[in-house]
Amino acid sequence: MTMGATTPANTAGSLKSSLGRRLLIYILLFSSCVTLILTGLQLYLDFRRDVAGIHKRLDEIERSHLPSLAASLWNMDEPLLRAQMRGILSLPGMHAVEVRETVPNVATPLRIRLETPNRDPAITRDFGIVHAGADGPREIGLLRLEASLAPLYRELIDRAMVILASQGVKTFLVSLFILLLVHRLVTRHLTALSHRLGESDAETGPIALHLDRAPAVGGGDELDHLVSSINAMRARLTQSLHDLREAHTRMEADVAARERAEAMAAHLAVHDPLTDLPNRHQLLERMRHELALASRLGTHGAVILIDLDHFKVLNDALGHGIGDHLLASAAGRLRAQARDIDLVARLGGDEFAVLLPGQWHGREEATAAALDFAERLRLLLSEPYPTQGQSRHLAASLGVALYPGDAGDSETLLKHADTALHHAKSEGRDCVRLFLPSMQTAAQVRHHLDHWLREALHDNQFSLAFQPLVDGNGRPFGAEVLLRWRHPEQGWIAPADFIPLAEESGLILGIGQWVLDAALRQAAAWENAGLSGPDFHLAVNVSPRQFHHPGFPDRVRESLTRSGVAPTRLVMEITEGVLLQHGSRAIVTMRTLKDLGVRFLIDDFGTGYSSLSYLKRLPVDGVKIDQSFVADLAHDASDAAIVDAILGVARGFDLTVVAEGVETTHQLEALRRRGCDGYQGYLFGHPVPADEFARRWLAGPADADQS
């Protein structure tokens, strides 16, 4: 864009513009002030000069006329004196002449005054009239001269008017020239620049501005720098506008993404991310609504709690990818089976819930319908799941609670359904159980038992009992360590009552470690006392959760180190179920402990999923025949056949066989004939405390009480 073309219109516009008017006014004011000051100074100097001329003229009158005036006054020649005074008054600028006799002792002194009629300002000078007589000079009178300043003032005024007029014209012409020069060099470019900037559009790209003049010498002046700065600023503004638009676009995208994320977060706040089913929060909200509605309408509904049996084992064995696929498939089956008015939710892990709204008017009708629906869900969930070309099988345990009869609030209702679910799992799983008030009592007992267990572990309420392991001659070669718990208020509590709860709650880790440490300390005490031989060992039962804990081998090693007991004196009894879970990891754990010298027995052999393939791979030292096979060994051919099979397998794998639950001599003789290696049971002795066990079994074989 070219700027600054000079036209009459532009010039007139510049003169009429605010900047032009102000510039002209400032120039005129400044020039006028300077002119006035200089004129005043000049007039003052001229006035000083003219006044000095008047004084000089008065001095000349004194020199030229004073002697003649003195002679006339001495001779008292008044006509001549007046003539002389008129001559002085006729001189230029004289206003008045006065002669006054000053001789003393004269009654009537002579006084003559001649003056012009005007009353203009004047300069007054007095001169003494001296007569030069024989006796010397003598003052005889006074001459007063008054010179008028009126001509001087008139001349100064005329001169001032001429100076002011000429200086005013000159000032105006100079100001106009300067204004035109500034317009030519500056304001026309600024005006054009203003118009161009006012017409510019932010939507268009940056168009460079140029001055309509020859290039300045020496790299450009201030206007060139201004135009360059404006061009650079407009380029930056255009780039900033572009960046702002891009940022706005990104911000809109971010806002949209944030809105989507917030919507997703709001959805995930009440939905399960894997199955997209409502979560616990939404279930409880819906349950509160349905409970209030059922109470108001007098109807009955139900909530069904579902847990997939042994899903954790399958998930760990097959991997979380297949596990998530199975959970999603199970959720899809539940959703497909449910009605539109039902709510299917995932509570977490492999636990689901189905809320059936209150639509039945009688509790019996609601109970029958809810149990029928739950049974259909159980059958549906047990159907095969095609996964990666294979069929996977799942089973489910279900607990049913009715409302509003079983509970008046959602939390309690869900807890009662969970209680029913727990009973279904404890009764063999893969079944449906309806909540009964008696279950709540059992649940409360279970809660108290869990609390007591924690106190027992903290307060050291546990103790150990030892039951002998004997050979065919009745000599002890070891003892099984059994846990005993005596509550301060409840008395003795059977292991069957608290061990499953400890296993489920995780307390078994602390309890199992306590049993191991206490058993090894007792073994060390007997060994240090010389009561146990080098082949005597203690058999310690290890729970599945304890055995599969990642730090279990290290804890066993630390316990052995603290006690100082040789690892060969420790035998760990584990069940077949322990070995079936995490098979590969179980083998690694066993081999790690075997390398230390620890031995292993499979407890309750034959009651689980006995497999020769895993028996071949496991580094076990022996098996224990379950007491259920020993009880009717002498009378039941099937039990005898199982015992024979176990012994045959053990011999084939070079394993030691210990029979437990031996209570009669007939059972003992039958086992001896079959070549059993060791025996355990009430025939030889009950579990007893450590000191009694040492007194009866470690003092010497002859003292053993086999009654």
- Give the tens place of pLDDT for each residue, 324-337: 999 999 999 999 99
User: Where does 280-435 sit in CATH, by number?
Assistant: 3.30.70.270
Domain ranges across the chain? 13-188, 280-435, 449-699
Contact 474, 706 (CB under 8 A): yes
pLDDT at 636: 83
Taking residue 353's Cβ as centre, other Cβ atoms within 10 Å add up to: 26
Backbone angles phi, psi at 399, to 5 degrees: -120, 135
**Cβ contacts of 199 within 8 Å, gap of 6 or more:** none
Query: Could you tell me the pLDDT band of residue 702, with boundaries at 50, 70 and 90?
Result: very low
* 706 vs 89: which has the higher pLDDT: 89
Q: Which helix (H) or strand (E) holds 173?
A: helix 150-182
* Mean pLDDT, all residues of the chain: 84
Up-side HSE of residue 441: CA atoms within 13 Å toward CB?
3
Residue reference for tokens 């070309």? 389
Largest CA distance in the chain: 201
* 342 vs 69: which has the higher pLDDT: 342
% of the chain exceeding 90 in pLDDT: 33
Distance CA 88, CA 94 (A): 7
pLDDT at 448: 79
Query: Could you tell me the pLDDT band of residue 613, with boundaries at 50, 70 and 90?
Result: low
pLDDT at 119: 63
Instruction: Tell whether pTM > 0.95.
Output: no
Query: Taking each helix axis from N to C terminus, what angle separates 18-74 and 78-89, rounded to the nearest 10 degrees?
Result: 160
**CA-derived radius of gyration, the chain:** 65
Instruction: Tally the residues of the chain.
Output: 707
Contact 95, 61 (CB under 8 A): no
Mean pLDDT of 124-151: 83
Which of 78-82, 220-224, 271-275, 591-595 holds the top average pLDDT? 591-595
User: Where does 449-699 sit in CATH, by number?
Assistant: 3.20.20.450
Contact 674, 643 (CB under 8 A): yes
Backbone angles phi, psi at 448, to 5 degrees: -65, -40
Lowest mean pLDDT among 80-84, 310-314, 359-363, 694-698: 310-314
